[in-house]
């Protein structure tokens, strides 16, 4: 393919095919690298989000416990108000 005006030979076409295959291989490799980077980024996000949700669930459990204790105290106060202690 020295002269741009000469017809392409079978050898020229074979060389172009080899170059195209090499380009295809590099492109596939680049796509795979991109996929790997995306998966790593999603994993990092998922891990931090999982930790956040876990912390929120722990906080929710603590709040439920505290609300339960307050409800018990309110019930106790209501019982004292409704039925005052007996005096002898």
Q: What is the pLDDT of residues 55-75, one digit of tens each?
A: 999 999 999 999 999 999 999
If one compares 84 and 71, the residue with the highest pLDDT of the two is 71
Q: 64 lies in which domain range?
A: 10-82
Domains identified in the chain, total number:
1
Q: Write down the H helix ranges in 1-88.
A: 10-82
- Residue 19 within any structural domain of the chain: yes
Contact by Cβ (8 Å): 1, 8: yes
- Residue 74 within any structural domain of the chain: yes
- Residue 5 within any structural domain of the chain: no
- Residue 70 within any structural domain of the chain: yes
- Residue 1 within any structural domain of the chain: no
Contacts of 42 (CB under 8 A, 6+ apart): none
- Residue 23 within any structural domain of the chain: yes
Matching residue, tokens 């741009």: 4
Arithmetic mean of pLDDT, 38-58: 92
- Residue 3 within any structural domain of the chain: no
Q: What is the mean pLDDT of the chain?
A: 90
Contact by Cβ (8 Å): 10, 1: no
Say what the pTM is. Answer: 0.51
| Tokens matching residue 80 | 């004292």
- Residue 53 within any structural domain of the chain: yes
């Amino acid at each position: 393919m020295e002269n741009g005006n000469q017809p392409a030979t079978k050898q020229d076409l074979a060389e172009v095919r080899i170059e195209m295959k090499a380009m295809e291989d590099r492109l596939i490799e680049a796509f795979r690298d991109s996929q790997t980077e995306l998966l790593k980024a999603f994993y990092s996000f998922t891990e931090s989000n999982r930790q956040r949700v876990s912390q929120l669930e722990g906080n929710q459990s603590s709040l439920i416990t505290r609300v339960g204790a307050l409800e018990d105290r309110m019930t106790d106060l209501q019982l004292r108000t409704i039925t005052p202690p007996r005096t002898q």
